[in-house]
Amino acid sequence: MAPDASGGRLIDPPVTPEPGRGSIEALVDNNRLLRTAFDTRIGDLRLWELVAATRREVLTVAAEYTGSYRDVHRPDDVAEWIARPIIMGGHQPELFHAGVWLKNSALDAYARHVGGTALNLVVDSDRCTRPAVAVPVGTPESARAEDVAFDADAPEMPWEERPVFDADCFASFGRRASELLAPFEPQPILRKWWPLAVERSAACHRLGLALAQARHALEERFGLQTLELPVSELVRLPTVMVFMGWLLAHTRQLHEAYNAALAEYRQAHRVRGRGRPVPDLAVRHDASGEWLEVPWWLWSRDDPRRRRVFANTATPGTLALSDMETLRVELPIAPDTSPSKWVDALSRMEEHALRLRPRAVVTTLVSRLLVADVFVHGIGGAAYDQLTDAIVRRLTGCDPPRHAVVSGTLRLDVDRTFPGFAAADPAGQLAQIRRTLRDLEFHPERHLVPVDGQSATVRELISEKRRWIDTVPTAALARRRCHAIRAANEQLSSAAEPLRRELLARVVPLEAAIHARNVLQSRVYPWCFFPEKTLKSFLLLEKG
């Protein structure tokens, strides 16, 4: 679970070794030992040989990409650089919350601790579904979340393809969101950081990359020395194409391993829904025969809707891929064809503006097997990567490298601008009122004090109820006793009606205050809603 308290961090293993919690050095050493057993043949190479070549390509291209918008130090001794540990993570290029950003700081801190390189994947293969973020507005008693757009609405498409559609909306977002946020946070870093995002959008012409590059440039100012690489660039690397070609060449084994891993996960976690944590890979049939779904997405530049991918291996030496709608391509990919043909075929898809992009499981499979000495997950990714572990074992017969887990919680400091907010407890007050209302229903006499101040009729009803309560509930009297006590309660409730109305009048305002409090205490507001000093305190792990 993510930490509940604001400022809380979950870092496993810790950056600085702690008794009983392991260390990043031990995790790196363990994973390198596991990797030596990777003897599976991938085309002309053993898997461990492909790892070395992939690491070289990834580091080289990541340094070139990162160097296009911020300073990068590239060691002179490339062989020594590749041999150092690589600590890797990744996330979508969105305005994520501070707990996600903590992973980037952990990458840097882990890498420094083991003398390695930190690398963050920009998952631009994911969809941009809503170019807006929720901003809290109102008062502490009536706060609500209001969506504020940073670009015009458009059909869903991968971040890789999405440009900025409304430059004016994008340029003004920092000012508009900061003004709405001001009552609760008057000094968000958003206001002075957003112009950098606008600058990067003009340079890279992609919404997601503009956000990612602007955030990464700020990390440099904070002292974090990490490299970044979009997934769209990762999958164009020849070594990664070799691995993806190998997976596709073994479509049936991959399909079966994926679904078997899902079945194991559901059984182990007692999950009943067939769509959880993700749906099974499907099977389709048509005139061409059997089509097995594989864990990739497919789209074209002209129609950038992500579609599921199905593979047909009916023709020897050929793999047909289709979205079962309008796209179909035949590739010379099979277990007995040359890896160079796999690379050529996947490269030609790119040249013809067809995008074949891995889903999350394949992305982490590539990252953990071919590149990272340690991959850093958030809590959700760590849970789902149990699937990746099971798939690796089924496809290679080897134990997969272990991953680290990092998450954190940062909430708006509303008490700073509205003293007393933190101490207020509307939920507790409402719970007490509901207990009192229930007590008024069954024990109204407790609230009619002093009894001597009540009317003679009320005093007589209280006395009569007490007599019936003290009466032993024999079989003959039990029914009469119950009805008499209930009747007394109903009549006594009339005397307690003013108190009941007073309590009920407080319910709606307290419910509104609870809702407002939930809005203001959410942990999912973007990291840029917080002051720079707060963010530095939260992120700089090497300072404790």
- Residue 385, pLDDT above cutoff 90: no
**Percent residues over pLDDT 90 in the chain:** 78
Per-chain mean pLDDT for the chain: 93
**Contact call for residues 245 and 342 (beta carbons, < 8 A):** yes
- pLDDT, position 544: 42
DSSP state of 526: B
- pLDDT, position 160: 97
- pLDDT, position 114: 96
For 166, residues 6+ apart whose C-beta sits below 8 A from its C-beta are 151, 152
Question: 45-46 and 86-91: which strand pairing?
Answer: unpaired
- pLDDT, position 361: 92
- Residue 492, pLDDT above cutoff 80: yes
pTM confidence score: 0.90
Name the β-bridge partners of 319: 331
Q: What is the mean pLDDT of residues 327-333?
A: 96
Closest Cα to residue 23, out of 365, 374, 370, 369? 374
- Residue 543, pLDDT above cutoff 60: no
Taking the C-alpha atoms of residue 119 and residue 228, their distance in angstroms, rounded to an integer, is 6
pLDDT level of residue 324 (50, 70, 90 thresholds): very high
- pLDDT, position 414: 95
Q: What is the mean pLDDT of residues 78-86?
A: 93
SS3 state of residue 400:
coil
Residue with tokens 């950003």: 101
pLDDT tens per residue, range 509-522: 999 999 999 999 99
Residue with tokens 């002051």: 531
Q: What are the DSSP calls for 255-299, one per residue?
A: HHHHHHHHHHHHHHHT---TTSSSPPPPEEEETTEEEEEEEEEEE
Closest Cα to residue 540, out of 315, 221, 249, 325? 221
- pLDDT, position 542: 44
pLDDT tens per residue, range 225-267: 999 999 999 999 999 999 999 999 999 999 999 999 999 999 9
pLDDT level of residue 455 (50, 70, 90 thresholds): confident
Taking the C-alpha atoms of residue 373 and residue 24, their distance in angstroms, rounded to an integer, is 10
Name the β-bridge partners of 230: 122
Name the β-bridge partners of 354: 300
Taking the C-alpha atoms of residue 268 and residue 454, their distance in angstroms, rounded to an integer, is 63
Domain boundaries, the chain: 9-122+234-239+364-414+523-543, 128-213, 271-358, 426-520
Taking the C-alpha atoms of residue 360 and residue 22, their distance in angstroms, rounded to an integer, is 27
Specify the amino acid at residue 132: A
Q: What is the mean pLDDT of residues 431-450?
A: 91
pLDDT tens per residue, range 158-199: 999 999 999 999 999 999 999 999 999 999 999 999 999 999
Residue 174 backbone dihedrals phi, psi, to 5 degrees:
-55, -45
Q: What DSSP element (H or E) covers 87?
A: strand 86-91
Taking the C-alpha atoms of residue 523 and residue 90, their distance in angstroms, rounded to an integer, is 20
- Residue 148, pLDDT above cutoff 70: yes
Closest Cα to residue 374, out of 17, 129, 30? 30
State the virtual CA torsion across 46, 52, 53, 54 in degrees, nearest 10.
100
SS3 state of residue 185:
coil
- Residue 399, pLDDT above cutoff 50: yes
- Residue 65, pLDDT above cutoff 50: yes
